[in-house]
Amino acid sequence: MSHSKLFILLFLLFLLPNSIQAQLLNIESARHNADSVGWYGQLEFDLSLNQYNDKVLEFTNESSISYFSNKHAYLVLNKLKAVNLDGASVISSGYGHLRTTFLRVNRLSPELFLQYQYNNNLGLQNRTLGGTVIRYSLFDEDNWSVSLSSGFMAEYEEWKSANQPAIKNRYIKSTSNIHMRAKLTPQSSLLVIGYYQARPTQFFQARSILETKLQFTISSHISLGIQFTASFDADPVIDIPQWTYELSNGLIISF
């Protein structure tokens, strides 16, 4: 990647305001697309239909930049969603995510991550978390791969619903996920990730999320993506639906 392209990508990443939803999918997408040493970047523009407290149509901008060395991988991801209702209200959500994968080509790879997130539509004012997992590659072939990750994270969050005092929580949680990648045709691929996050004392009252992304290659730098995310929170902090979903499609530009 040229220095000018790297500068533009870094500018876009840190200009954007910084949801745990979809960050793992985007990490695996970046990991899959980078099959050699060097810098990689991606911009994506989506229109999406969401079901939270209301059905809303959103505009989404995602950006990522990553560096893959011979041994390790370093990733920075940002996502911003915004919609204007009746010319006045702005409902927005977003996240910023940093992740390092050590010994990335090994079957066992330790990872460290940090994340900031907010979702005004759900009442999540902010959530900050950091942790570590061990990634285990079950198998990795040209057209098919499966991996597992498991570890722990510390989480701080602030919630607020209309006319109610803010609620602040600090938790230690386990976090686990399973990831599958399949190359369906030379021009299409499928990513599927399911993950489970819970406090050890309430292991069966978890936050569970399933993410899928179908991607079609148009050229070496342009793809189309169709993404579906469904999440279930067994014990919401405030009065919001336990089930939420998101369906989106967009244009992906890779560097």
From first to last of the 255 residues of the chain, give the pLDDT tens digit: 544 444 444 443 333 333 334 456 666 666 655 567 888 888 887 766 666 566 666 677 788 888 888 889 998 888 887 776 655 556 688 888 999 999 988 999 999 999 999 888 778 889 999 999 999 999 888 888 999 999 999 999 998 877 778 889 898 999 999 999 999 998 999 999 998 988 888 888 888 888 898 999 998 888 888 888 888 888 777 777 788 888 878 888 887
Residues 151 and 233: their CA atoms lie apart, in Å, by: 19
Please give the tally of structural domains in the chain: 1
Rounded CA gap, 45 and 38, in Å? Answer: 24
Sign of the dihedral through C-alpha 246, 247, 251, 252: positive
Task: Determine the Cα–Cα distance for residues 101 and 113; give it in Å rounded to an integer.
Answer: 9
Sequence letter at residue 191: L
Which domain range does residue 59 map to? 3-254
Q: Are 9 and 41 in contact (CB under 8 A)?
A: yes
Reduce the DSSP state of residue 27 to 3 states and report it: helix
Q: Match 């390092």 to its residue by tokens.
A: 100
CATH number for position 44 = 2.40.128.130
